[in-house]
Structure 1
Amino acid sequence: MAQSAKPITSPVPQSLYPTLAFLLLVFGLIVTASFFIYAATASKKNRSLAKELVTGAVASVFLGFGSLFLLLSTGVYV
């Protein structure tokens, strides 16, 4: 039974970890910057809570996955 077990492998090749980390972190930082620009330039009457929540969530997801792939690319397996 132990011989039929397959090792657990990543669905993403390890050679793509640095590239994915870079792209996801850059995109997350761009979305974060647009969030800050929107918060600083929009008047209090024209602000939309939904837009702020969606922008914050998208930035959080991209920065989170970017951080994960950054850790994986440096050898810290989480």
Structure 2
Amino acid sequence: MAPKPITSPVPDAWYPTLSVFMLAIGLVVTASFFIYEATSSRRTRSLTKELITGAVASVFLGFGSLFLLLASGVYV
């Protein structure tokens, strides 16, 4: 029995679209994080909100960068 080739769970044609949407969402969440930091005082800041916002932005920017690399032909 021959082994199956490894294939992507996401079709190759979706890479550019996924990269644009994920990077856009990541940049919007990053912008909201910076606005939150600039407009709130030290007493009203919430560490939980900061960590969650930072984690969400990081995930979207990370996957967006991955799909951008895949769409441009750099297979990582």
Same fold (TM over 0.5): yes
Runs of 4+ in structure 1 off by over 4 angstroms are none
User: Percent identity over the alignment?
Assistant: 72
Query: For structure 2, which runs of at least 5 residues remain unmatched after alignment?
Result: none
Corresponding pairs, count: 76
User: In the alignment, what sits opposite 2:38?
Assistant: 40
TM-score (norm 2): 0.98
- Cα distance in 1 for residues equivalent to 2:3 and 2:39: 57
User: In the alignment, what sits opposite 2:19?
Assistant: 21
How far did residue 16 of structure 1 move? 0.1
RMSD: 0.6
How far did residue 5 of structure 1 move? 1.2
Cα offsets for 1:13-38 (capped at 9, x unmatched): 00000000000000000000000000
Query: For structure 1, which runs of at least 5 residues remain unmatched after alignment?
Result: none
TM-score (norm 1): 0.95
User: In the alignment, what sits opposite 1:72?
Assistant: 70
- Cα distance in 1 for residues equivalent to 2:43 and 2:8: 47
1:65 maps to a residue whose letter is F
